[in-house]
Amino acid sequence: MAIHKLNFGEFDEIDYHLIAIHTSLEDYRLAYFINQKLSINLGKSKDEVQINIKEGETAFSRFYYYDLEHAVSWNLIQNKNEVAQQKIDPVQNLFSNTKLEISTRVYLLPEFKKADYFLKIENTEDTMNATKIRTILNTIDNISAVYIVDTSKIKSKNNLIF
């Protein structure tokens, strides 16, 4: 009987590029412009990225495209979202029946709070040039900054597993 061993070091390898995008565009408009410039077909995914935090649960919008020819998957993910909590005021006064709604800003990757979106390109061995993609994305109007994220500096890598 043969013995099979698993090397867990293989699971730690990062096989994606992450590009941060700063823009005031809505997610669907950004996806439209990225589709035009990169000749891909990002579409709104029903599977949003779910994150559980102490304030509650939130979902980040996601646009997805899988390129069959190159076996590359593209994800455009929102980085900023709001979590609304309802709180009942414990003080009895004239306005005691009112409910307070407190909203908190939540980030997919808290260490990159200024980035509005991330473009995650998976299964890119040597077929994709992230610098070329960054340069192309910089030509889109209303994008103020685009840069490649050093994946070794990401502390919340588990939020990118979906």
- Distance of alpha carbon 123 from the chain centroid: 17
Q: What is the pTM of this model?
A: 0.80
| Residue in the structure block whose two tokens are 């699971």 | 11
Gap between the terminal Cα atoms of the chain: 36
Model pLDDT, residue 25: 92
Dump pLDDT digits (tens) for 19-46: 999 999 999 999 999 999 999 999 999 8
Interacting residues of 26 by C-beta distance below 8 A, sequence separation 6+: none
Q: Point out which residues pair with 59 in neighbouring strands.
A: 50
Higher pLDDT, 92 or 152: 152
Dump pLDDT digits (tens) for 73-129: 999 999 998 877 766 666 666 656 666 677 788 889 989 999 999 999 988 666 678
